[in-house]
Amino acid sequence: MRSYLDFEKPVAELEAKADELRALEARGDGISLSEEIGKLDARANQVLKDLYAALTPWQKTLVARHPQRPHFKDYCAGLITEFTPLAGDRAFGEDEAIVGGFGRFRGEPVCVIGQEKGDSTETRIRHNFGMPKPEGYRKAVRLTELADRFGLPVLSFVDTAGAYPGIEAEERGQAEAIARSTEAWLGLRTPSVALVIGEGGSGGAIAIAAASRVMMMEHAIYSVISPEGAASILWRDTARAQDAATGMKITAQDLLKFGIIDRIVQEPTGGAHRDGQAAINRAGDAIAAALGDLAGLSGDDIVAQRADKFLAIGRNL
């Protein structure tokens, strides 16, 4: 069953009317309502297109968090064959907020790492709502080091509200783990591509996104803090999250303009949650293009190019 966001109510009403007519036609009373249904569908599609052409930053935040939006497991299943997950950081334990392993992307061996939020109560709890703990980032480091050793490209799929802020995570060295993971990504001598598929929350995201190419889905967000967190700090009022979202410049369009990311992957009309497979296919094409741009570069060139990319951020604003 499709879930609608508040600003999608006009679309919901039109689609509900079309569904009612379909149900009436399906009763077999000999009544043909195809023309009316077609008009309603066309009107709903146009309204949806108009809405998504002018989304506010806060509305994009809601879309990025949509419960039916494709998650890492969906991208992995759609793009990676022969996927073999690896678990544990070899120091403390397993963290299922970060899933990683090795497989093949369009026939070529790759290392794949992603943050998984889960899509049911059970899986969300198991994956800690996509908020990694230190052992998750140390697992990511272990995987990137293996990829570097065997000369494999690394793909990451970012989707987290942020690193887990609990006491136990701080006790086990959350900040150090994030820093080590970021360092490992920056030092990779193989091509790396990061794609923000939903939320890119602060250090929790950058720890697996310091890549040679950083891309975002059209309606994803990427920020140093959540809009609610920023509103709480600035105005002591989380109700002003919409104002914070606008001021923080967290959308893919803003971040491309500022040179923070390298490419925007277009989503189907109405967002990735309306046609997950189409979104995943477009993401695959973008990843393939990014890897193609990096093919043939030496390890030294890859490291130097990546360093230049991140050092240039903010210098030309």
DSSP track, 249-307: T-BHHHHHHTTS-SEEEPPPTT-TTT-HHHHHHHHHHHHHHHHHHHTT--HHHHHHHHH
Q: Quick one: pLDDT at residue 1?
A: 74
So what's the pLDDT on residue 43?
93
Contact (CB, 8 A) for 101 and 73: no
| Terminal-to-terminal C-alpha distance of the chain | 44
| DSSP alpha helix (H) spans, 31-155 | 34-53, 57-64, 72-79, 121-126, 134-150
Average pLDDT by consecutive 10-residue portion of the chain (317 residues)?
Answer: 89 90 76 83 93 95 95 97 96 95 97 95 95 96 96 97 94 96 96 97 93 97 93 93 94 94 95 95 97 94 95 83
Q: Give the three-state DSSP class for 195.
A: strand
pLDDT (0 to 100) of residue 25: 77
Global pTM value: 0.93
The angle at the Cα of 265, spanning 82 to 200, to the nearest 5 degrees, equals 80
Spatial separation of the C-alpha atoms in residues 239 and 252, rounded to whole Å: 23
Angle between helices 134-150 and 174-186 (to 10 degrees): 20
pLDDT at position 231 = 94
Q: For residue 238, which amino acid is it? A: T
Per-residue tokens: 299: 């390890």
3-class secondary-structure state, position 196: strand
H or E element: which one contains 160?
Answer: strand 154-160
* Both tokens assigned to 126: 């198991």
CA 48 distance to own-chain centroid: 22
Distances (CA, A) of 154 to 41, 116, 185, 246, 249: 42, 17, 9, 32, 28
pLDDT in the model for residue 98: 97
Q: What is the DSSP string of 44-74?
A: HHHHHHHHHHT--HHHHHHHHT-TTS--HHH
The pLDDT assigned to 23 comes to 83
| Residue 235 region by backbone torsions, left for phi larger than 0, else alpha for psi between -120 and 50, else beta | alpha
pLDDT of residue 30: 61
